[in-house]
Amino acid sequence: MKIYHKTSFLVLFILALCSASCKHDRIVNTSFYYWKTVYKTNPAEQTYLQHFRTNKLYVRIMDVDMDETGSSPVPISPITFNAQLPDTVAIVPVVFIVNNILKNITHAQLDDLAGKISNFVKGKVHQAGKYTFDEFQVDCDWTASTRENYFYLLKKLQQVPYLKSRRFSVTLRLHQIKNQKSSGIPPVSRVMLMCYNMGNLRKYGQQNSILEIAELKKYLGDNISNYPIPVDVGLPLFSWAVAFRNQEYIGIAKRISIAQLQQKNQFIFIGNNIYRAQTDLPDDGLKANDEVRWETVSANNLQATAGYLSPLIKADTLNVIYFHLDEPVVKAYTYADLEKTDHIFH
């Protein structure tokens, strides 16, 4: 009996060593979204691309929404390239489709839209100094009611001569991955899970509507492990000031920074992440006694999120895409912050 136990233990030990030594690291590619309307060379932003050996940049080309008459989809706030992308960085054009345009639109209109999107993207890619690209991404918060038209548009885009040879990906929101039966599985090669903007922004309180692991857990688990398309991950690098008047949401105070909130002649800290205006601040759209909830994502939050997601993702190759590449945003995070986050995904 003693010999049996020793032999069993030895076998288990050898198997454990073999398992550990045979296990290979997942390939993790680090990239960023570029979500501004003007692209220009910025040394600080370029150093982030170089440091992480980023070989592709996800560039928002335009939004697509209805025109003022509500009869025809048109490009909204397209990007302008004041400089060309670095030779070492490929472009991934991203087009945001406003979900509402898909509700009452014919297949003939969608056919026409697919061609127009292709031509517009081609022109902008050339402005960026690129004449080819491997991946094209569509961003849309589609729902069960727009699913059929959205998937039809995706298929049509993949048939347009300029785009047909590209790899297609789409963004995936939490409700879409949880409600797969109603939302459907998009006809593309990969999906990018948006791990941000997940809470109730308009609800008064001390929550963080950008990123909370408790919210992720309500939607993911087996839903991500069993998803039939490879899943990439988008993580937030931004902060914002959510404003309330009489506990009613009034908007995001875009000019407000944490440094301004900490100026005691303008705001008083009333607990956790809430500040109250001491005086009228017309330039910021605030009145005395308005309250501001400062929401941010710490490096610890990013790493905890990576720790939760990593074992759920089965793919051998993972793209981790940070939102977004903007000097005031990225400078709040050190290289080590993001490197540690990436390492957890390996």
Give residue 293's pLDDT band: very low, low, confident or very high (50, 70, 90).
very high
CA distance 331 to 48: 9
CA-based nearest residue to 34, from 20, 47, 45 = 45
Nearest CA to 63 out of 117, 112, 142 is that of 117
- Residue 221's Cα: distance from chain center in Å? 19
- The 10s digit of each residue's pLDDT in 201-211 is 899 998 899 99
Q: What is the pLDDT of residues 61-76, one digit of tens each?
A: 999 999 988 889 999 9
**Could you tell me if 229 and 109 lie in one domain?**
yes
Same domain, yes or no, for 175 and 265? Answer: no
What's the average model confidence in pLDDT over 264-293? 95
pLDDT of residue 198: 84
In a domain, residue 19? The reply is: no
Do 246 and 216 lie in one domain? The reply is: no
**Lowest model confidence (mean pLDDT) among 22-26, 65-69, 317-321:** 22-26
Q: 248 phi and psi, to 5 degrees?
A: -110, 135
Average pLDDT, the chain: 92
Identify the burial level of 58 via C-beta atoms within 10 angstroms of its C-beta, where 0-12 means exposed, 13-18 middle and 19 or more buried: buried
- pLDDT for residue 3: 44
Judge if 63 and 130 occupy the same domain. yes
Same domain as 171, residue 43:
yes
Residue 185 placed within a domain: yes
Both 165 and 62 in a single domain?
yes
The alpha carbon of residue 109 and the mean position of all alpha carbons in its chain are separated, in whole angstroms, by: 28
In a domain, 13, yes or no: no
Count: domains in the chain: 2
Give me the pLDDT at residue 4, please: 43
Are 208 and 221 found together in one domain?
yes
Please report which confidence band the pLDDT of residue 9 belongs to, taking 50, 70 and 90 as the band edges.
very low
Comparing 278 with 17, which gets the higher pLDDT? 278
* 78 and 153 housed in the same domain: yes
Average pLDDT over residues 214-218: 92
Residue 232 lies in a domain: yes
| Spatial CA neighbour of 38 closest among 169, 171, 127 | 127
Closest CA to 228 of 172, 147, 308, 267: 172
Q: Give 137-150 pLDDT, tens digit per residue.
A: 999 999 999 999 99
Q: Are residues 219 and 268 in the same domain?
A: no
- According to DSSP, the residues that pair with 91 across neighbouring strands are 57
pLDDT of residue 19: 40
Model-wide pTM > 0.85: yes
Q: Which domain holds residue 254?
A: 240-295
Are residues 114 and 258 located together in one domain of the fold? no
